[in-house]
Amino acid sequence: MSETKIKTEGFRIMFLLRRVAVTPLSHWRQMRLAPQGVHLSTGTGRAHSHDPSLIDPEGDPRVRSAHREMTEKGGTRPLYLDAQSTTPLDPRVLDQMLPYLTSYYGNPHSRTHAYGWESEEAMEDARKEVADLIGADPKEIIFTSGATESNNISVKGVARFYKSKKNHVITTQTEHKCVLDSCRQLENEGFTVFFHTDAAQAVGKIPMDVNRMNIDLMSISGHKLYGPKGVGALYVRRRPRVRVEPIQSGGGQERGLRSGTVPTPLAVGLGAACKLSGQEMDYDTQHITRLGNKLVNTVTSSLPHVIFNGDPEHTYPGCVNLSFAYVEGESLLMALKDVALSSGSACTSASLEPSYVLRAIGADEDLAHSSIRFGIGRFTTDEEVDYTIERIISEVSRLREMSPLWEMFQDGIDIKSIQWTQH
Tell me the residue type at 72.
Answer: E
- The pLDDT assigned to 240 comes to 86
- The pLDDT assigned to 336 comes to 96
Sort residue 218 into left (φ over 0), alpha (ψ -120 to 50) or beta.
beta
Q: Is the pLDDT of residue 238 over 60?
A: yes
Q: Is the pLDDT of residue 177 over 90?
A: no
84 close to 319: Cβ distance less than 8 angstroms: yes
* Angle between helix 147-161 and 177-188 (nearest 10): 30
- The pLDDT assigned to 5 comes to 55
CB atoms within 10 A of CB 248: 12
Q: What is the rounded CA–CA span in Å between residue 41 and residue 43?
A: 6
Segment 124-150 mean pLDDT:
98
Q: What is the rounded CA–CA span in Å between residue 80 and residue 225?
A: 15
Closest CA to 353 of 344, 362, 363: 344
- The pLDDT assigned to 344 comes to 59
Q: CA distances (Å), 398 to each of 304, 328, 336, in order?
A: 13, 12, 12
pLDDT band at 358 (very low <50, low <70, confident <90, very high): low
Q: Is the pLDDT of residue 180 over 50?
A: yes
Closest CA to 8 of 277, 382, 375, 293: 277
Share of the chain above pLDDT 90, in %: 54
354 close to 310: Cβ distance less than 8 angstroms: no
Segment 312-322 mean pLDDT:
91
Catalytic residues: 347
- The pLDDT assigned to 49 comes to 32
Q: Which of 48-62, 128-142, 221-235, 389-403 has the lowest mean pLDDT?
A: 48-62
Q: Which of 25-29, 106-110, 196-200, 344-348 has the lowest mean pLDDT?
A: 25-29
- pLDDT digits 0-9 by tens, 74-102: 567 899 999 999 999 999 999 999 999 99
- Per 3-state DSSP, the chain is made up of helix, strand and coil in percentages (nearest 5) of 45, 10, 45
CB atoms within 10 A of CB 393: 15
More confident residue, 45 or 217: 217
Q: What is the set of domains in the chain, with CATH numbers?
A: 91-277 (3.40.640.10), 281-347+355-412 (3.90.1150.10)
Share of the chain above pLDDT 70, in %: 69
Q: What is the rounded CA–CA span in Å between residue 210 and residue 208?
A: 6
Q: Which of 59-73, 293-307, 402-416 has the lowest mean pLDDT?
A: 59-73
With a CB cutoff of 8 Å and minimum separation 6, the contacts of 43 are 13, 16, 381, 383
Q: Is the pLDDT of residue 413 over 80?
A: yes
- The pLDDT assigned to 163 comes to 79
Q: What is the rounded CA–CA span in Å between residue 233 and residue 223?
A: 11
**What is the full DSSP assignment across 160-175?**
HHTTTT-------TTS
Q: Decide: helix, strand or coil at residue 294.
A: helix
More confident residue, 423 or 319: 319
